[in-house]
Amino acid sequence: MQFTSLVALALAASVSALNITVLQPDVPLAPSPLPLPGAAKDCDEIVAAFANLGRTTVWNLVQKIKFQGDTYEPEGIVRIGDDRFYVSAGEYTAPTTSYGNNTVINGTDRQPGAGFAHIIVFDGNGTRVADATLTEDGAIEYHNGGIDYDGKYIWATIAEYRPNATATLIKIDPLTINVTTILHIADHQGGAVHDVDTGNVHMLNWGSRNVSTWNLNYVPAAYPEFTRPRSITRNPSYYTDYQDCKFLGHPAVYDYRGVMLCSGVTSIYNTSIGGLAIVDLKTMVPLAEVPITMKSDLGTLVTQNPVDVAIVDGKLRVYFLPDQHNSTLYVYEPLAASPFEFGGGFE
């Protein structure tokens, strides 16, 4: 027994210290069998609904759910069926102080700081089911970024909380929160998306400036040796730094290209603007994008971090969890855009 657990620890390397606090002992973590992912299940409907969005779309707030307890900094969310939300969150116990004066050491510009990567499970009304930390005290990689759910696993990256550093791609079993380490990569990664049709996992780095792609049919280097991604592609768009993305599929309207739905923010001219986009997985080219201006009651742009999407009762629903520590889930449905949206605009 002891031998087995030691081997498991050695294999799982830095991302191994699952420390789970179960808050509702009588309820399962996730529904069994696991439901299909809401984003990918209704890809064609989501892409079609997105085509009706524009700058004048009125977003109707259909639900507001207070999430119980300290949510730290929420980074990603997946909705697993109607009664579960899994949130990836970062608990920070020491700040990442800048080296200052544009100093770069080992490719990065700040101290590592310290903290823990969390996965927090909530039921449909925001009550905590469990809170797990996935990293050990003192681990240099503790930043849990955007997440994706493929019907079987949640995909995530646990990274150093600084640009151009390192990250570990993992998958998490929602039924147990058991973590499997996939590979180690020599860049910060702030989110992962699994294309179930190609076996590609696409990882977005700091500010989603580059997408690094790995294919699960290949064997990565033995952990903790670094694995070179099969491709690294620069994001050609600077309108939104995507924070959390969900695999949608390979819809016919986009010539069967793999696409994801992403949300994020841009800060420019002392203003922050939110954005929601359908993005080509391989090239990061946005295929459709709209600005989002709603803010939470605490004043945070709703697209600040986590996003998920689903078709509920035939309508597009977008789920946002913007605030740190004391979080409320904002659920929106789009109403019709102005009839002049598609022929109008500035002249």
Ligand X SMILES: *[C@@H]1O[C@H](CO)[C@@H](O)[C@H](O)[C@H]1NC(C)=O
- From the list 178, 114, 175, 117, the residue with the least C-alpha distance to 145 is 117
* Residue 335 makes contact with ligand X by CB under 6 A: no
Residue 269, CA distances (Å) to 72, 108, 182, 239, 272 in order: 28, 25, 40, 13, 8
Applying CB under 6 A, which part among 152-160, 174-182, 238-246, 247-255 lies near ligand X? 174-182
Closest to ligand X by CB, 32 vs 106, is 106
Q: Are 212 and 172 in contact (CB under 8 A)?
A: no
Site for ligand X in 253-312 (CB under 6 A): 269-270
Applying CB under 6 A, which part among 54-62, 176-184, 214-222, 243-251 lies near ligand X? 176-184
DSSP-based three-state secondary structure for 84:
strand
Q: Report the residue from 326, 338, 340, 342 that binds ligand X according to the rule CB under 6 A.
A: 326
Applying CB under 6 A, which part among 146-154, 175-183, 277-285, 335-343 lies near ligand X? 175-183
* Residue 1 makes contact with ligand X by CB under 6 A: no
Q: Shortest gap between Cβ of 82 and ligand X (angstroms)?
A: 9
In eight-state DSSP terms, residue 302 is G
Tokens of 77: 């969310």
Closest to ligand X by CB, 190 vs 275, is 190
* Residue 12 makes contact with ligand X by CB under 6 A: yes
- From the list 113, 119, 162, the residue with the least C-alpha distance to 144 is 119
Using CA atoms in the order 87, 58, 262, 177, what is the torsion angle rounded to 10 degrees? 20
Q: Report the residue from 6, 7, 21, 218 that binds ligand X according to the rule CB under 6 A.
A: 21
Q: Which residues contact 274 (CB under 8 A, 6 or more apart)?
A: 240, 263, 264, 265, 291, 292, 293, 294, 301, 302, 303, 304
* Residue 63 makes contact with ligand X by CB under 6 A: no
* Residue 3 makes contact with ligand X by CB under 6 A: no
| 83-102 footprint of ligand X as x/- string (CB under 6 A) | x----------------xx-
- From the list 251, 255, 276, the residue with the least C-alpha distance to 264 is 276
Residue 68, CA distances (Å) to 31, 33, 63, 289, 325 in order: 20, 26, 16, 32, 10
Residue 229 phi/psi, 5-degree rounding, is -60, 155
Q: Which residue's Cβ lies closest to ligand X?
A: 107
Q: Shortest gap between Cβ of 323 and ligand X (angstroms)?
A: 8
Closest to ligand X by CB, 234 vs 255, is 234
Closest to ligand X by CB, 127 vs 237, is 127
Applying CB under 6 A, which part among 151-159, 171-179, 251-259, 331-339 lies near ligand X? 171-179
Q: Total residues at the site for ligand X (CB under 6 A)?
A: 28
Applying CB under 6 A, which part among 53-61, 105-113, 151-159, 329-337 lies near ligand X? 105-113
* Residue 234 makes contact with ligand X by CB under 6 A: yes
* Residue 28 makes contact with ligand X by CB under 6 A: no
Q: Report the residue from 56, 68, 127, 237 that binds ligand X according to the rule CB under 6 A.
A: 127
* Residue 109 makes contact with ligand X by CB under 6 A: no
Judged by phi (left if over 0) then psi (alpha if -120 to 50, else beta), residue 276 lies in beta
Peptide bond into 33 cis (omega under 30): yes
Residue 48 to residue 283: CA distance in whole angstroms: 21
Site for ligand X in 182-201 (CB under 6 A): 187
- From the list 180, 286, 200, the residue with the least C-alpha distance to 240 is 286
| 213-232 footprint of ligand X as x/- string (CB under 6 A) | -------------------x
Site residues (vs ligand X, CB under 6 A): 12, 19, 21, 83, 100-101, 105-107, 123-125, 127, 133, 137, 164, 173, 176, 178, 180, 187, 205, 210, 232, 234, 269-270, 326
